Structure 1
Amino acid sequence: MIDKDRFSGLHEFVLSAQAGSFTAAGLQLELTSSAVGKAVTRLEERLGTKLVHRTTRRLTLTNEGEAYLATCLRVLGELDETESFLTTGRQEPVGRVRIELPATFGRRHVLPSLLRLAARHPRLDLSTNFSERLADLIAEGVDIAVRIGRLRDDADIAARRLGEQRLVICVAPGYLARYGAAKNRQELLTHNCIAGLQRGQRAAWLLRNEVGEFELTPVTARHEWGDGEAMLNAALAGCGVAQLPTWLVGEHIRRGELVEILSNLSGGEMPVHVIWPRTKYVQPRVRVVIDELVRLANEDSSGFKP
C-alpha cells in the first residue's frame, strides 16, 4: 500500500535547498515562507532526521540533507523524463546525468562531444567529474563512467567496449643528453621514471616479457603525478622516462619534443569502456550519452583507437 503522505514536503525541501531559503522557495510555489518551513519540518519529522540547518540569513544542508537531495533530484528527473515521453511519444532526454571521466582523456576527447550533446538537448543537464579515482557508481549515484584498463567482474555493472589506447615509452631529448637511453628492461629500472599517482602501491608499467606477452612490471618512479597531463608536462620538462598513450604524446613525438625508446618492450594496449549500473530500462537521458560515446569512438579522429 502506498503511503499518500510519502511525497509531502518533498518539493518544498528541494526548492528550499536549491534556492537557499524558505522565502525564495515560497515565491516559486506561491506559498508563504512559514508554510514552506512547516512542510520541511514535517518531512524531517517523518524521516526522523534533520535535513537543513536554519539560520536568519540562509539555509544549509546537513549531510543527510545532501544525500536526500541527490536522491530526490534523481527521482524527480526520471519522473519528468518519463512523463515527457508519455505526453509527447518521444524519448526526449530530460534531467541530470552524472558522469565520471578520466581526467586528461575526458577533457581532451569526451568533453567537446558532451558540450555539443548538451546544446542539442536543452532539457539534458550534465554533472561531469574529471578524475583518476574509480568511483563506486551505485553507491555514489553515478549514471555513466568511462574506464581505461581491464574491468573487474561485476554483475551490477553493464559495459560496452569503446576501443583501446596504445602505450609507448618516451623521453625528452634533454633527458637523453644527460642520462642516455635505456637499452633494455634492466637498464630501464635504473632510470628516473614518471608514473601516475599510486597511493601506496608500487608503480608498474605494461611491458612485453621474454615470451612476447604484456605484463605489469614494477619500475622505479621518481615522480608521481595525478593525471596524464601532468605526466606529459613532466616528461617534456626532462624529468624522466614516461609510459604514456599515443593519443597524448603522438604530436610531441612527431615534433621531436619527445623521443620514443624501447619500442621492443612497449606497445601494450589498454581497453576503453563506458560503464553504467545494470538495469532493465536505461533512461533516455543516460542512453543518449552512451550512444554519443559509442558514436565518438567510431570516428577515426576520436582518439579511442589511436
Structure 2
Amino acid sequence: MATQDPFLSVRHFVAVAQSGSFTTAALALGLTGSALSKSIVRLEARLGVKLLHRTTRRVSLTLEGEAYLASCLQATRVLEEAESSFSSGQRNPSGRVRIDLPAAFGRRHVLPLLLDLASRHPQLDLSVTFNERKVDLIQANIDLVVRIGALEDQADLVARRLGEQKLVICGAPSYLALRGVPLTPDELSRHDCIIDWRSGYRHRWLLNNGAGQTEAYDIQVRHEMGDGEAVRAAALAGLGLVQVPTWLVSEQLASGALIPVLIDQSGGEMPINVIWARSQHMQLKLRVVVDALLLAAQESGSGFRADGK
C-alpha cells in the first residue's frame, strides 16, 4: 500500500485559497468537491486550527488560514528557486525578489544598481518599494530591506553593513536670520526642527561631543516629513533646521541655499545595512542581489561612504 503524500492536502488548501472556490479548485485538481473538502478537513484536524470559512456562496480564509497560506507560498518559492538553481547549474538566478528601500537614498544610490543587475539577469524579476519605517519582512512578504540607522538585535534577521552616511545640521538663511544660529548643541531644544518618520518617538539628533564620541541631543520637533527629499524641501522653505546626510544637501550647501550650523560638533554617522530573514538555505536570487550591493558599496563614488561621494 503506497504511503499518502503528507503535503497533498497542503496543495489542496493552496488551490482552494487562491481560487476562493471549492468547485474551481476541484476542477483544476481533477477531484470531486467531496474529496477536496475531506482533504481540507483532515489538514485542519492535523494542524488543530480552522483554515477556511465556508458558506454556500463563498470561501474565505481565517486569520490562521492567511498566515498558513503565506507560509505555504514562501515554502513553494524556496523549492522552486532550489529546483531552478540546480537545473541552471546554479549560475542563473531567477524568480522575483521583493526589496524595500529608504526613499531618497534608495532611489539615488540603490535603485540604479538593481536595474543594472536585472538587465544582466533576464530571469531575475524585481519588486521594489520605498519606505522609511520598520518593516516586518515575513508579514510584508519582503525578501530584502536596506535601512539606515542603528539596528535592533533580532535573532531571526541577518544584517550586512554596506557603509555609513555622514550627517550635517543646516537651515535656510531666512530661518537663521529670524531665529538665530545655534552655537551649542543644547540650543537645539529652542529651535524648530524638521525630522523624517524614521526618527520614531525619540526626537534626538547625533552630534560629536569633542571627545571623539557621539551623543544624542534633544530637539524641538516642529514638522515631520515622509522622506529625506521632503525634509530638504521643508528646510529650503525656511521652516526650521534639519539633520540630513551630506549627499542629500551637497548642492544646496555649495550654493548657500542651506547653511551648516554647529560645524565643529556636527558630523555624526549612521550605518547603512542590507537585511534579510535568517534561513538555512539562502536562495540564489537573494544571494546575487546581496553580493551586488556589497561589491558596489566598496567602490568609490557608490554613495555608501561617510563622505557622501
Distance across 1 between alignment mates of 2:16 and 2:121: 27
Q: Distance in 2 between matches of 1:45 and 1:167?
A: 56
* 2:286 corresponds to: 286
Q: Which amino acid aligns with 2:82?
A: T
Partner of 1:253: 253
The offset of 1:63, in angstroms, is 1.5
RMSD: 3.2
SS of 2:161 mapped into structure 1: strand
What is the TM-score of this pair, normalised by structure 2?
0.81
Contact 1:52–1:59 (CA<8 Å) still a contact in 2?
A: yes
Provide, for residues 173-201 of structure 1, a one-character-per-residue CA deviation record: whole Å limited to 9, x for no partner: 33223223223324333211112345543
Pick closer, same or farther for the CA change 1:26–1:171 going to 2, 3 Å: farther
Contact kept, 8 Å, 1:148 with 1:271, in 2: the verdict is: yes
SS of alignment partner, residue 270 of structure 2? strand
Aligned partners of 1:27 and 1:118: how far apart in 2?
A: 37
Q: In the aligned structure 2, how far is the partner of 1:131 from the partner of 1:115?
A: 18
> Matches of 1:295 and 1:28 in 2, distance apart?
46
CA distance in 1, matches of 2:274, 2:112: 17
Supply the AA of the counterpart residue of 2:179.
Y
Compared CA separation, residues 57 and 237, structure 1 to 2 (3 A): farther
Deviation sequence 1:55-97 (CA, Å, 0-9, x none): 5665432221221111111111111122223333224334444
Distance 2:18 2:125 in 1: 15
CA contact (8 A) 1:97 1:125 kept: yes
**Corresponding residue for residue 145 of structure 2:** 145
Q: Is the 8 A contact 1:22 1:34 kept in 2?
A: no
Deviation at 1:209, TM superposition (A): 1.1
Q: Which stretch of structure 1 is more off in the superposition, 287-296 or 253-262?
A: 253-262
The 5 A counterparts of 1:1-306 are 4-26=4-26, 28-29=28-29, 36=36, 38-54=38-54, 59-121=59-121, 123-126=123-126, 128-136=128-136, 143-153=143-153, 156-197=156-197, 198-201=199-202, 203-305=203-305, 306=308
| Cα distance in 1 for residues equivalent to 2:127 and 2:46 | 30
User: How far apart, CA to CA, are the structure 1 residues paired with 2:194 and 2:161?
Assistant: 28
Deviation of 1:121 after TM superposition, in Å, equals: 4.1
SS in structure 2 at match of 1:82: helix
Q: Contact between 2:210 and 2:265, CA under 8 Å: does it hold in 1?
A: no
How far apart are residue 169 of structure 1 and its match? Answer: 0.8
Whether the aligned pair in 2 keeps the contact of 1:167 and 1:244 (CA below 8 Å) is yes
State the secondary structure of the residue aligned to 2:190: coil
Partner SS state of residue 104, structure 2: helix
Unmatched 5+ residue regions in structure 2?
none
Q: Report the Cα distance in structure 1 between the residues aligned to 2:272 and 2:13, rounded to whole angstroms.
A: 40
- The 1:60/1:118 distance shift into structure 2, 3 A limit, reads farther
SS of the residue 1:189 aligns to? helix
CA contact (8 A) 2:173 2:259 kept: yes
Deviation of the 1:204 alpha carbon: 1.0
Summarize the Cα distance change of 1:213–1:17 in structure 2 as closer, same or farther, 3 Å threshold. same
Q: TM-score, normalised by structure 1?
A: 0.82
Aligned equivalents of 2:45, 2:120: Cα separation in 1: 42
Give distance in 1, aligned partners of 2:117 and 2:28.
29
Matched-pair contact (CA < 8 Å) for 1:173–1:259? yes
Answer yes or no: is the 8 Å Cα contact 2:185–2:217 preserved in 1: no
Secondary structure of the residue aligned to 2:282 is coil
Asked if the contact 1:166/1:269 (under 8 Å) is kept, the reply is: yes
* Paired letter, 1:173: P
Relative to 1, partners in 2 of residues 1:112 and 1:226: Cα closer, same or farther, differing over 3 Å? same
